[in-house]
Amino acid sequence: MAIRVTRSHRSHGLACASLCGALASSLAAGPAGAQEAAGALPVFDAHVHYSHDAWEVAPTAEVIALMRKAGLRSALVSSSDDEGTQRLFAAAPDLVVPSLRPYRRRGEISTWVRDPTIVAHLEERLRRHRYAAIGEFHLYGADADLPVPRQLVQLAKQHRLILHAHSDADAVERLFGQDPDARVLWAHAGFERPERVGEMLRRHPRLWADLAFRTDHAPGGQLDPAWRAAFEAFPDRFMVGTDTFTPERLYYIPEHASWTRGWLSGLPAPLAEKIAWRNAEALIAPVWQASRERRLSGTEAARCVQAARAPGATRLEAQQVVLIYRTQPQPIRVGERFSVQAALCPRAGAAAVEGLAIDATMPEHRHGMNYVPVLRADGADAWIADGLLFHMPGRWRLSFDVRMAGRSERLAAELDVR
Amino acid sequence: MRATPGASRRANGALALAAALAIAAALATAPAANAEPSTAARAANEFRADEFRADEFGVDEIARIVSHGPWPPPPVRDPSNRASGDAAAIALGQRLFSDPAISASGSISCASCHDPRRGFTDGKARATGLAAHDRNTQGLLDAADWRWFGWDGGADTLWAATLRPLLSPQEMGSDAARIAARLRRDAAAMRVIEPLFGPEPDDEALAVAAAKSIAAWVETLRSPRTAFDAFRDALARGDAVQAARYPVAARRGLKLFVGPGNCGACHVGPSFSNSEFHDVGRPFVLAPGRVDPGRHAGIRRVQADRYNLLGRFNDERGAAPERSRALQTRTVVLQHRNWGEWRTPTLRGLRDTAPYMHDGSLPTLRDVVRHYSELDLDRLHADGESLLRPLKLSSSEIEDLVAFLETLSPSPRGTMAGAKEAPTR
């Protein structure tokens, strides 16, 4: 009779966050580390998609195998919809770093900027999963100042995430105009000339650029002099990516990594390493680690306090988390459906909440409810369960199983129902 | 045939069309087997508006239509192939084309897949030689016009493209020794080969000679003239009577082709192909876990091919490097976008070469047009081929485009029935 919501990264993400110091150290121990041992230059592929039409063509395990074969140290993955990213992440949390696209399906590339429902989609995914970035999104010129992109920027700011922007220089300027502290990963380096890319990097210290789907920096595998100058001028700001925008391109990941190693061999080894993986890791890994270990933000803590002040709110405490709940309607009447609103507040230093299960039993009767309620998210670490019904009078035990760091902690309330 | 009301309108229309044709003809600079009419001749054949509606095509549209001719083009020779244009070698090549003795099994020849009755294709989605092939058999008509050969352009000459299937285990599975033995038993063949390729050629040289002889014949294969060619020449000539014989549906389809469809951007010139490579949003998964990389693999293959234009078997001598055919192979660059690109096929003779696309995945011309009508832009990179947009054609527009494409085949049926050739002057 329990209802349960779990976060798909539960078995890996938080465990790793607590066990691993930095993302780099966790990755070095994985299969990608074997590649490094074999001598191949590791590659952080900062531009991978695994959208809904790819799942059948390229099963998750096969995509991970392609990444391993390519010697990827890590991959920043974003998908339309986000489910593809979560599948890859669940299969290889040591390899995959999730990024959240503002697209539910392919085909929203050009419509999302004027679609207010996108914001709800982003908020819902941000409640359910952890990410290092929001993107890759397509945004050009003045569209960046439309309400939906503005809200996207604010969500990234609120969650302290990188913006992965497939944009022209104008839109990048507008993103920084909205949030000067944003970290922007400029997809494809905007398909701009190296001189223009250099100007932008000089102007914006918190701008990085991926070189996905470009060959002009190394035509025929040989470094272009102007691009070489840009790499030398901004050695910490460039990274590489495949851009798997069709299912078939997932099979290009090994080829792309090999090509990347080829042209990077024309650079001094320290600079080649930076572009191959160190720059991406320096930008993305700290954000990702912080996201996985995310504590309650000030706003969320305030919301938890606010929930506790609501009429009829009940506070339950456990070692790692505080839970505040209230029922609607209240009091609960026998034979009448009711809802439970629950807000979870992990204690300082505790791991993030991975999932919640709600159940109710009559201990004396040794049975529970006759209905399976529906649980839905209601903001960060907050849920609403609908459709509960106590069909007999007496003492009921309403229990909440909170899953954190791979373990459950139970909180319970005793209710006398008449 | 449509009539336009009003004498003055007819006169104005005729003048407008005549002016448009003069501009269009000036733009049509391709060398012609059938010489273009002179300006004076065009003026003398000014359109009669009651035969052909003057405003049916604009100046730009007429110029585009005229650019798809004249047909056939003059014969061309391949400087990389010393057998090219040699009558004896051409005859030998024709014979070898249908000779199963040069295959490993002794049971299949080039003609097994390249059936002349099917526009030199096999009617299958994917070819079958000694083993199953991943791609659709391409026709051979007008191959002399191509720059790259095969769906992926993995060969840079027609003779190298001919040698490849001879030696491929998937296709004919032969080897140089087998081909050489076959030729050495054939005194008539050796009497053709030795004067051209030198006395007592070794096995490899003989295999190359066989391929070059076959290529010399294939490059003589030309698509016949079609109803479209007659219409195109009529436009160039200012012959409204002949132009009016071109079916109305085909004219509407042609208007879409040169207008909003912008199909001629890739399907250029008299052969309706730029002989280059594009991603048009077709899937290229062969089987779960296996994709066909298309042009990306083709570039790698041509660069590694010992029979490419950079190798010792290229017969072109004395050409300045910047004018030699080998320049294309020396300068081609591998790019990420090549992954899943395919060579633009000709549109001539399509009636005989179904099914279509690199993997034969579209059974009919109607399916091909529908593909472009409902193009999935998400399959194309946001900064990739900006040309391609879903055409969103109505069902009647789809039929019109198909009607036009069918007039590029020399069919006695359908839309070709009313078309007649007019001699060009």
Task: Encode pLDDT of A64-74 as tens digits.
Answer: 999 999 999 99
Antiparallel, parallel or unpaired: β A43-48 and A72-77: parallel
Sign of dihedral through CA atoms B5, B8, B37, B58? negative
Nearest-Cα distance to chain A for B382, in Å, is: 8
| Cβ-count burial B345-354 (b if 16+ within 10 Å, e if not) | bbbbbbbbbb
**Confidence grade of residue A294 (pLDDT, cut at 50, 70, 90):** low
Q: CA-CA distances (angstroms) from residue B195 to A412, B199, B209? A: 99, 7, 11
Contact A243 B296 (CB under 8 A): no
Q: What percent of chain B has pLDDT over 90?
A: 73
Token pair listed for A213: 């789907």
Of B285, B334, B335, the CB nearest to A57: B285
Question: ipTM above 0.85?
Answer: no
**Confidence grade of residue B1 (pLDDT, cut at 50, 70, 90):** very low
For chain A, say whether B386 makes contact (Cβ under 8 Å): no
Token pair listed for B418: 């009313």
Nearest-Cα distance to chain B for A63, in Å, is: 9
**Confidence grade of residue A6 (pLDDT, cut at 50, 70, 90):** very low
- DSSP codes of every residue in A159-209: HT-EEEEEE-HHHHHHHHHH-TT--EEEGGGGG--HHHHHHHHHH-TTEEE
Contact A247 B289 (CB under 8 A): no
Contact A245 B381 (CB under 8 A): yes
Q: What is the pLDDT of residue A417?
A: 87
**Tokens 């993986």, located at residue:** A277
**Confidence grade of residue A38 (pLDDT, cut at 50, 70, 90):** low
B residues 281-310 near A, CB within 8 Å?
A: 283-285, 288-291, 293, 296
Q: What is the pLDDT of residue A146?
A: 97
Q: What is the pLDDT of residue B78?
A: 97
User: What torsion, rounded to 10 degrees, do the Cα atoms B199, B203, B204, B208 define?
Assistant: 70
For chain B, say whether A194 makes contact (Cβ under 8 Å): no
CATH architecture of B87-218: Orthogonal Bundle (1.10)
The region, left, alpha or beta by phi > 0 then psi within -120 to 50, assigned to residue A404 is beta
Q: Is the pLDDT of residue A248 over 90?
A: yes
Token pair listed for A387: 């459709």
User: What are A192-211's pLDDT values in tens digits?
Assistant: 999 999 999 999 999 999 99
User: What are B77-122's pLDDT values in tens digits?
Assistant: 999 999 999 999 999 999 999 999 999 999 999 999 999 999 999 9
Average pLDDT over residues B125-144: 96
For chain A, say whether B340 makes contact (Cβ under 8 Å): yes
Chain A residues within an 8 Å CB radius of B296: 252, 255
Of B334, B340, B383, the CB nearest to A188: B383
Q: What is the pLDDT of residue B320?
A: 85
Q: What is the pLDDT of residue A312?
A: 86
Q: What is the pLDDT of residue B51?
A: 57
> May I ask the CATH class of domain A3-292?
alpha beta
Nearest-Cα distance to chain A for B417, in Å, is: 43
In chain A, which residue's Cα lies nearest the Cα of B334? A220
Q: Which of B131, B128, B102, B103 is nearest to B115 (CA)?
A: B128
| Main-chain dihedrals φ then ψ at residue A45, nearest 5 degrees | -85, 105
Q: What is the pLDDT of residue B251?
A: 96
Nearest-Cα distance to chain A for B143, in Å, is: 28
Its pTM surpasses 0.80:
no
Average pLDDT over residues A219-243: 96
**Confidence grade of residue A391 (pLDDT, cut at 50, 70, 90):** confident
**Confidence grade of residue A83 (pLDDT, cut at 50, 70, 90):** very high
Q: CA-CA distances (angstroms) from residue B263 to B267, B368, B372, B395, B398? A: 6, 12, 10, 18, 14
Highest mean pLDDT among B8-22, B121-135, B381-395 belongs to: B121-135
Query: In sequence order, what are the beta bridge partners of A324?
Result: A315, A343
Q: CA geometry: angle at B355 spanning B352 and B359, to 5°?
A: 135
Chains A, B: CB pairs < 8 Å: 64
Contact A106 B378 (CB under 8 A): yes
Q: Which of B168, B184, B183, B186 is nearest to B113 (CA)?
A: B168
Mutate which of A136, A215, A251, A263 to disrupt the B interface (most B C-beta within 10 Å)?
A: A251
Q: CA-CA distances (angstroms) from residue A88 to A18, A54, B215, B400? A: 21, 12, 50, 46
Contact A249 B284 (CB under 8 A): no
Average pLDDT over residues A132-149: 97
Evaluate the omega torsion of the peptide bond into residue A254 and state whether it is cis, within 30 degrees of 0.
no
- Return the half-sphere exposure (C-beta side, CA atoms, 13 A cut-off) of residue B103: 21
Of B340, B377, B382, the CB nearest to A248: B340
Q: Is the pLDDT of residue A368 over 90?
A: no
Nearest-Cα distance to chain B for A243, in Å, is: 9
What are the structural domain ranges in chain B?
A: 87-218
Contact B337 A213 (CB under 8 A): yes
pLDDT mean across residues, chain A = 85
Average pLDDT over residues B331-357: 95
Q: Are B111 and B97 in contact (CB under 8 A)?
A: yes
Contact B288 A249 (CB under 8 A): no
Query: In sequence order, what are the beta bridge partners of A316?
Result: A323
Q: What is the pLDDT of residue A13?
A: 28
Nearest-Cα distance to chain B for A36, in Å, is: 25
For chain B, say whether A64 makes contact (Cβ under 8 Å): no
**Tokens 């599975």, located at residue:** B173
Q: Are B25 and B66 in contact (CB under 8 A)?
A: yes
Sign of dihedral through CA atoms B240, B241, B242, B244? positive
Of B291, B335, B378, the CB nearest to A248: B291
Q: What is the pLDDT of residue A348?
A: 67
For chain B, say whether A249 makes contact (Cβ under 8 Å): yes
User: What are B48-77's pLDDT values in tens digits?
Assistant: 444 567 678 999 999 999 999 999 999 999
Chain A residues within an 8 Å CB radius of B300: none
**Tokens 């002399």, located at residue:** B144
Q: Are B124 and B138 in contact (CB under 8 A)?
A: no
Q: Is the pLDDT of residue B196 over 90?
A: yes
Average pLDDT over residues B288-312: 95
For chain B, say whether A52 makes contact (Cβ under 8 Å): no
Mutate which of B152, B282, B336 to disrupt the A interface (most A C-beta within 10 Å)?
A: B336
In chain A, which residue's Cα lies nearest the Cα of B330? A220
Supply the DSSP symbol for B269.
T
Token pair listed for B132: 């199953």
Contact A248 B285 (CB under 8 A): yes
Q: What is the pLDDT of residue A299?
A: 47
**Confidence grade of residue B292 (pLDDT, cut at 50, 70, 90):** very high
SS3 of residue B237 by DSSP:
helix
For chain A, say whether B366 makes contact (Cβ under 8 Å): no
In chain B, which residue's Cα lies nearest the Cα of A255? B336
Contact A188 B333 (CB under 8 A): no
One-letter amino acid for residue B424 of the chain: T
Q: Which of A303-312, B143-152, B332-341, B391-400 has the lowest mean pLDDT?
A: A303-312
| Helix B59-66 × helix B248-258 angle, to 10° | 100
Q: Is the pLDDT of residue A408 over 90?
A: no
**Confidence grade of residue A105 (pLDDT, cut at 50, 70, 90):** confident
Mutate which of B290, B337, B383 to disrupt the A interface (most A C-beta within 10 Å)?
A: B383
More confident residue, A42 or A381: A42
Distance CA B316, CA A21 (A): 64
Q: Is the pLDDT of residue B156 over 90?
A: yes
Q: What are the residue ranges of CATH 3.20.20.140 in chain A? A: 3-292
Q: Are B93 and B217 in contact (CB under 8 A)?
A: yes
**Confidence grade of residue A355 (pLDDT, cut at 50, 70, 90):** confident
**Confidence grade of residue A378 (pLDDT, cut at 50, 70, 90):** confident
More confident residue, A72 or A370: A72
Token pair listed for A413: 């309330």
SS3 of residue A62 by DSSP:
helix
Query: In sequence order, what are the beta bridge partners of B234?
Result: none
Nearest-Cα distance to chain A for B282, in Å, is: 10
**Confidence grade of residue A32 (pLDDT, cut at 50, 70, 90):** very low
Token pair listed for A318: 């456990």
Of A107, A191, A215, the CB nearest to B336: A215
Q: Which segments of A190-347 does DSSP mark as H helices, in order?
A: 194-203, 225-233, 253-264, 269-273, 279-292, 298-309
Q: Are A323 and A316 in contact (CB under 8 A)?
A: yes
Quickly name the fold that domain A298-417 has. Immunoglobulin-like (2.60.40)
Q: What count of other Cβ atoms lies within 10 Å of the Cβ of residue B420?
A: 11
For chain B, say whether A251 makes contact (Cβ under 8 Å): yes
SS3 of residue A387 by DSSP:
strand
Chain B residues within an 8 Å CB radius of A166: 382
Contact A246 B336 (CB under 8 A): no
In chain B, which residue's Cα lies nearest the Cα of A242? B336
Chain B residues within an 8 Å CB radius of A214: 336
SS3 of residue B279 by DSSP:
coil
Give the strands of the sheet with A96-100, arranged side by side: A43-48, A72-77, A96-100, A133-139, A162-167, A184-186, A207-210, A238-239
Q: What are the residue ranges of CATH 2.60.40.1930 in chain A? A: 298-417
For chain B, say whether A62 makes contact (Cβ under 8 Å): yes
Of A62, A107, A191, the CB nearest to B383: A191
In sequence order, the 6+-apart residues with CB closer than 8 A to the CB of B149 are: B143, B155, B156, B157, B158, B160, B161
Chain B residues within an 8 Å CB radius of A62: 289
Distance CA A352, CA B136 (A): 54
